[in-house]
Amino acid sequence: MGSIWSHGTSIEEVDGPDVSKLDRKIKMIWRQDRIRITKQDNGQVGSNFNGWRKPVSKFARNEGILAEHLRENVYTGEYDISDGLWQKSCGVVDEITRFFHVTLKKNTSRYYPCISFGDFVKQGSSREGLKIGQPDEFDMVLPFTIEGVDLHAVPALDKNGELIPAHMKLQISDYAQIQNVKKGILYQSLRKNGVFETCGSDLFLNAMCFQTRVISSIMETTIAEIQKKIDAKNRNQACSFTLSKTSVFPPTFRFKIKIKSDDDFDELSYGQNLFCQFESRSAAAATPVWNASYKVIEFDIVPGLLLQTDSVPNPDSWWFSMTCNRYAVMKWIHKGRYADDYPEPNLLWRESSCGYEKHIIDASSMNQSDVYILTACRILKAYLDGLGNSSQLCSLLTSYHIKNIAIHCILLQLHASGVRVALGYLIAFLEIGLKMEFLPHYFYGNPYISSMFPTLSANANQRRLNLFRNIPHDHFAQAILSLRRMKADLYGLFTECSYLGNHQSIDSFRKLCTLYDEDTSGRCLLM
């Protein structure tokens, strides 16, 4: 379900970067009394759909009581989002990010004319229908290219010559292009900031310099220009929103929208009620995003260079395939953080598999068993969210870990008969990963991904990527104790492992967590 205010519009249709016009749009969206609910776009999969999806929530016919008990549970609580609040939040984010994009492109052409940004590509839980509790976080990839430069992905190796999964260096191999970027005036600003780095006779793109000097500069200039316009608007009439950059976690830039509310906005009271429920569930609740007078929405931007466009099966057609994009994002090795293990740590880029995640989850919405798995994924996320920071399990796990486990369940074709069974599989897989201290990324070294994507059969031969690689060994014992508490908290709401029918798939996942080279797995997977 996408935003009803931005359906069918593009960046080019925005009538200039005018804060007053944007302010009027935000007020119109926020004060809308009646919400026209759009139909779920189940027919649009992967790269064919660039909108926000209403969170999935589907129980088996005989699970009505289970659904009620989960919502009454002191930890999971009310994890769904009202249609009105969802639509309004999506509409606000679409309008403000569209405005942001126009300003960003204008500043980029002025200071870095060789860089070209494409339209935002939505990703993450709000795009995939996995959001819980509040529609307050939205994620996007910002595709970019460098004019006149063909960049090629070169496998990244550690100091022992071992391949580093999901990582690469970006090389310019064409001689004429190398000479052009070294001397051409178009690339002067990039050269000045150390973006092009020579290693022997080869020329590479320095990820650290590109992020910290070039992209950061563009983001700072963009937000400063928008703030200047908001300040000018405030001198005449108070603007209904503020926009600020809050943090940078390479490769992510995070921005915060603060929307001032009216007394007549009923959805805000709904959101406050949800937040109060969350507060009562956890003494260590996160920083409030709800207030009597404003609402906070954050959006994350990840700049990504388009690596390649893959051809993948189209679930709607026997005859025609569709596309799936792979991006390279800036993820170098920070100084002092195992950097000595990697030659040229500042040159490392990471492959983003978000395009495949969207495709898998979208295609799964057409399969009843997989929808139960996605619903269970949201329930498990809600439980951990309800714990706050009071549990080692919560501080150890991220939303991406839970989604990754759900994708493993989908690729293994578990055929869950309902949410109770699906939740049982998720908990069983999580327990295996914690005990093995190894959670394999679904994309690398996984032979089961070829069941959905036959062209990725070679992925089975890749080295596995451990998503638990950064977690200290002594944290796992406490996390396992927290898992036992979770089982007690959710007793009767999930199927115990011994009663799950598909033990073959459970064993298959256990093998994915154990079949790796003990001598090298910890050494080169520390990004």
Residue 101 is encoded by which pair of tokens? 């994009």
Measured in degrees and rounded to the nearest 5, phi and psi for residue 326 equal: -115, 135
Q: What is the mean pLDDT of each run of 10 residues along the chain (527 residues)?
A: 43 56 91 58 82 96 96 90 93 96 97 97 97 95 96 88 89 94 95 93 94 96 95 89 90 94 50 45 44 83 95 88 94 64 83 95 94 98 87 90 98 95 98 97 94 88 90 93 95 95 94 66 37
pLDDT reported for residue 40: 52
pLDDT reported for residue 337: 52
Which sign does the torsion angle of CA 479, 482, 486, 487 carry?
Answer: positive
Residue with tokens 């220009």: 225
How far out from the chain centre does Cα 488 lie?
30
Residue 360 burial (CB count, 10 A): 26
Are the beta carbons of 95 and 22 closer than 8 angstroms? yes
pLDDT reported for residue 11: 38
* CA–CA distance, 280 with 59 (Å, rounded to integer): 26
pLDDT reported for residue 16: 44
pTM value is: 0.88
Q: What is the largest CA-CA distance in the chain?
A: 70
pLDDT reported for residue 284: 39
Domain boundaries, the chain: 11-65+80-146+213-301, 367-527
Residue with tokens 């931005």: 6
pLDDT reported for residue 304: 97
